[in-house]
Structure 1
Amino acid sequence: MILAVEGDWTLPHYAILRRQVERARRQVTDADQVDLHGLGELDTAGAGLLAELLGPARVARLSDWAPELPAERQALLKTVAAALDKPQAQQKPETNGFADVLTHVGRSVSSVWNQQRTLLGFIGLTLQTLFSVSLSPRRWRITSLVAHIEQTGLDAIPIVALLTFLVGAVVAFLGATVLADFGATIYTVNLVAFSFLREFGVLLAAILLAGRTASAFAAQIGAMKSNEEIDAIRTLGLSPIELLVLPRMLAMLITLPILTFIGMLSGIVGGLTVCALALDISPAMFFTILQRDIPLNHFLVGLGKAPVFAFLIAVIGCLEGFKASGSAQSVGEHTTSSVVQSIFMVILIDAIAALFFMEMGW
């Protein structure tokens, strides 16, 4: 049997050709011969019908049994047949909302775990670089260190002092309100001193620096990476950790204890102001109670947490800067991430330290 293909196989004749192809497909076998001498115009729509009629295998051998067909038509038929022969992509099975929630939770947990592993690795790299640089005084970056001390410490003193002063006043108001019901407003002094020496002084200063300084570190290093300045540093044979991370980390280690001390004083002064104006507790009585009832270990506990918080804030801010890609959106996302991570780690470590010191009786 010979199958003769004639006429124009184009889009205007598609409906008629479709019906004819459906009738002919039931009768055509692989052994039948095909005659394409009468084929007129041909476009993509007609090529699709013709490839469906002949089958992908026969179209692939088109040059063998129809050499008279122009090369462009052979290429069109082979391309359309190859596209029709590809298996259709399987549709993804529909999932319910609960499964999507579990998937999202799993991905979030995995992301947090990978993030913490990366942070631990970066901490180890930073400590290794610090140890190697400390043995070679010529590699110390004193100018950069002083500049970052001014940026992270001196410029942050007003906001830290003001915030802790206001929080100290609020704590004194709340303490006096509650203690007045028991006739123990005098213990407002102990409340203010105890809370600021152990917790609020270092915690508020660390949170402020997490929002103010960690974001600045991430944005600065992220912008340098987007401008390929970090690649240039590596090309010169220098270490980005030594040039960019160590001065920032050391500056934070110096400034946060100082800001913590200022925060403690400002918070106590805020409580003193409320006690003097609203509770009829004179400054002399305030300081007498402070000296008599508040031991030194509360001050040391609060101040001892400052270097740990400073190290974590600096490392997280620098790491997020290195993780940023070349786009401005990536720099903004990692800057936001540095603030969130820093505050989370500060509060987490502070909670663990509070439980530890409570169990130790310090």
Structure 2
Amino acid sequence: MSGAPSIDVHSSGLSIAGDWTLAHFGELRGRVAALRDTLLPGQSVNLDGLGSLDTAGAALLVELLGNARMADLDRLAPHLPSERRALLQAVAAAMAGDGEVSSPPRQSALVELLGRIGAAMQGLWEQSLALLGFIGLTLSSMFAILLRPRRWRVTSLVAHLEQSGLDAVPIVALLTFLVGAVVAFLGATILSDFGATIYTVNLVAFSFLREFGVLLTAILMAGRTASAFTAQIGSMKANEEIDAIRTLGLSPVELLVLPRVFALLIALPLLTFIAMLSGMVGGAVVCALALDISPSMYLSLLQENIELRHFLVGMGKAPLFAFLIAVIGCLEGFKVTGSAQSVGERTTSSVVQSIFVVIVLDAVAALFLMEMGW
């Protein structure tokens, strides 16, 4: 039966028929409000004559019959189509508050801390895998073109060599000169209590030949050159220039990465040598002014007490640091997604990663060489 909605009240209960839809909502709302409080719990309800039904009509039926009858709908109305029964029960659950989305329980601070640590470790692992993969790709491309001079990008290499090496000489020389002077002054201050100020020369020489020369230069290159590599390649990635390079059949690694890697492999050892000289000159100035150690005596002590192996230890670290700094800077540039914010984030990430890797490797190398007696 379908048509105009009706509610028939008789001695045994209610008979509901017709279309209970939004079109009849105004007509039904008053009748439902009048009958809602008069319907007893034990009275039967006949829904066999129910016609069309929508959400508005279902809400009125739930309001009239109550949630208890809706839960027992399978027994009360066995002939009611399944889709209407599902609609009535869903509306009843929503009106009862069962459909409200409950907020997730708040986790304890310890669980949140462990979750953050786990996420950080997973990110570090993924970053390490990406770096190892990119190192392998760079090395394979490097070996592939070494015996093919026609594929060398000499112009790009010279340009990056000037930018990474020649332009960095003033800041490297000034910084290491000042640090050498500070190390000599602090060493003289402590050693003077023991009457051993002459060993200030050894302190400055050891520290700059083995550690400070290469470490300070690598940190400066990480902040200056790695960030430049990331920004340059990242801007190209954002402007879709790298996609254009691939479209032309060229390799972005060969075209963009290798000239930068080769330039830094040449520049960093040369800058390390300059840093060593500048640091020891700074120490010599302090020795001459504060300790009455003349430059000739300073050089004589260096020749007598400082072995060549200390210089070789410092210079041996330079190519490794240069390769890692260049690779990290280029890799972060390729990770740029296309926005200016992404360029800034990856530039910051390349500097942080480069400095972290350089310091960790230098510490490991220092411990290893100390145990080996080198």
Q: TM-score, structure 1 length as denominator? A: 0.84
Structure 2 unaligned regions, length at least 5:
1-13, 75-79
CA RMSD of aligned residues (A): 3.4
Conservation of the 8 A alpha-carbon contact between 1:2 and 1:34: no
Query: Within the alignment, does 1:125 sit opposite 2:134 as a pair?
Result: no
Q: 1:207 to 1:2 in 2, by over 3 A?
A: same
What is the match of residue 15 of structure 2? 2
What is the match of residue 287 of structure 2? 275
2:127 to 115, 134, 150: 115
Conservation of the 8 A alpha-carbon contact between 1:221 and 1:318: yes
User: Structure 1 residue 223: deviation in Å?
Assistant: 1.1
Conservation of the 8 A alpha-carbon contact between 2:59 and 2:91: no
What is the match of residue 337 of structure 2? 325
What is the match of residue 7 of structure 2? none
Report the number of matched residues.
Answer: 340
User: Structure 1 residue 90: deviation in Å?
Assistant: 5.8
Matching residue's letter, 1:9? F
Query: Within the alignment, does 1:173 sit opposite 2:173 as a pair?
Result: no
Residue 249 of structure 2 aligns to a residue whose secondary structure is coil
Query: Within the alignment, does 1:192 sit opposite 2:169 as a pair?
Result: no
User: Structure 1 residue 2: deviation in Å?
Assistant: 2.6
Conservation of the 8 A alpha-carbon contact between 1:253 and 1:311: yes
> Structure 1, residues 264-320: CA drift from partner, whole Å, max 9, x if none?
000001001101111111101100001110011101110110000000000001111
Q: What percent of counterpart residues are identical?
A: 63
Query: Within the alignment, does 1:251 sit opposite 2:263 as a pair?
Result: yes
Conservation of the 8 A alpha-carbon contact between 2:15 and 2:46: no
Residue 292 of structure 2 aligns to a residue whose secondary structure is coil
Matching residue's letter, 2:50? V
Q: 1:33 to 1:216 in 2, by over 3 A?
A: same
Q: 1:59 to 1:246 in 2, by over 3 A?
A: farther
Q: 1:61 to 1:212 in 2, by over 3 A?
A: same
What is the match of residue 221 of structure 2? 209
> Structure 1, residues 106-130: CA drift from partner, whole Å, max 9, x if none?
1111111111111111100100011
1:49 to 59, 71, 74: 59
Conservation of the 8 A alpha-carbon contact between 1:207 and 1:346: yes
Conservation of the 8 A alpha-carbon contact between 1:190 and 1:290: yes
Conservation of the 8 A alpha-carbon contact between 1:153 and 1:256: yes
Separation in 2, partners of 1:115, 1:19 = 69
What is the match of residue 101 of structure 1? 113
> Structure 1, residues 83-106: CA drift from partner, whole Å, max 9, x if none?
959966564232100110011011
Pairs within 5 Å for 1:306-345: 306-345=318-357
User: Structure 1 residue 131: deviation in Å?
Assistant: 0.8
Q: 1:126 to 1:48 in 2, by over 3 A?
A: farther
Query: Within the alignment, does 1:358 sit opposite 2:374 as a pair?
Result: no
What is the match of residue 301 of structure 1? 313
User: Structure 1 residue 225: deviation in Å?
Assistant: 0.8
Separation in 2, partners of 1:194, 1:19 = 99
Separation in 2, partners of 1:330, 1:149 = 27
Larger radius of gyration: 2
User: Structure 1 residue 237: deviation in Å?
Assistant: 1.1
Query: Within the alignment, does 1:143 sit opposite 2:155 as a pair?
Result: yes
Matching residue's letter, 1:311? F
Q: 1:115 to 1:281 in 2, by over 3 A?
A: same
Q: 1:148 to 1:24 in 2, by over 3 A?
A: farther
Residue 259 of structure 2 aligns to a residue whose secondary structure is helix
Conservation of the 8 A alpha-carbon contact between 1:190 and 1:293: yes
Matching residue's letter, 1:102? L
Structure 1 unaligned regions, length at least 5:
63-76
> Structure 1, residues 207-234: CA drift from partner, whole Å, max 9, x if none?
0000011111111111111111111111
Residue 16 of structure 2 aligns to a residue whose secondary structure is strand
Residue 349 of structure 2 aligns to a residue whose secondary structure is helix
Q: 1:213 to 1:8 in 2, by over 3 A?
A: same
What is the match of residue 49 of structure 2? 33
Residue 105 of structure 2 aligns to a residue whose secondary structure is coil
What is the match of residue 286 of structure 1? 298
User: Structure 1 residue 8: deviation in Å?
Assistant: 5.8
User: Structure 1 residue 17: deviation in Å?
Assistant: 6.4
Separation in 2, partners of 1:82, 1:129 = 67
Q: 1:128 to 1:8 in 2, by over 3 A?
A: same
What is the match of residue 232 of structure 1? 244
User: Structure 1 residue 23: deviation in Å?
Assistant: 7.8
Runs of 4+ displaced beyond 3 Å: 4-10, 13-32, 50-62, 80-91
Separation in 2, partners of 1:184, 1:294 = 17
Separation in 1, partners of 2:34, 2:147 = 87
User: Structure 1 residue 3: deviation in Å?
Assistant: 1.8
User: Structure 1 residue 49: deviation in Å?
Assistant: 2.0
Matching residue's letter, 2:49? Q
